[in-house]
A = this chain, B = another copy of it.
């Protein structure tokens, strides 16, 4: 049987819980921009990213704004954990990679009978809750440069290696700002030697430096995940 240990939630499960869940999991390869679901859709699958990054967005007029990202530290399908069927947010693959997928029905059955699984999923819900809450104030008070650094750190934590594909344009959409604004902010980070980029390929050069430029929201949220998921979600 395949192992899904790359995902921290699945890794945190006791062996028998993990085994029962694994019977329903399959691994899929999802390219960037794959749509998982959007507001109004029925949540009929739950997703556990292995080395991909998924973005959760909310509608703003005709456009979308990013609310949170999910990677190997989490899962997509909280409505199922909450016992509801309809998604209120849009989820799509931000950085392509592998995802472990299970049908929502089977997952619901397991949640009902497996205390350990339910406990871990609810703890994750609390962590996610905290992350989003912090983002509410982050978007309000922190500068583009700080949020840009925070976003890069969070993404770095969720992908293998120090490099990933991301254009200024794409990052601008995620941060809800102009592309030109990202070019300036990212240019500053590059000048400071913290990152390096070239036509959509971003490399993180100095995590600590990046963290000192970013707002405290990064560490605050990372610590909550560490505590609730029980493992460090940060790189290094």
Q: Which residues of A contact B (CB under 8 A)?
A: 56-61, 65-68, 78-79, 81-84, 86, 88-89, 118-119, 122-123, 125-126, 128-130, 132-142, 176, 216, 220, 224, 227-228
Contacts and interface: CB of A to CB of B under 8 A. Distances in A.
Given A140-B65, A140-B139, A134 B84 contact: no
B141 A65 contact: yes
Given A88-B224, A122-B83, A126-B79, A65 B137 contact: yes
Contacts of A57: 137
A61 B216 contact: yes
A141 B79 contact: no
B78 A134 contact: no
Given A88-B130, A129-B132, 10 more contacts: A56-B133, A59-B137, A65-B136, A65-B137, A65-B140, A82-B123, A82-B126, A84-B126, A135-B136, A139-B139
Contacts of A61: 216
Contacts of A86: 227
B58 A133 contact: yes
Contacts of A78: 126, 129
A133 to B, nearest CB: 4
Given A78-B129, A126-B88, A140 B224 contact: no
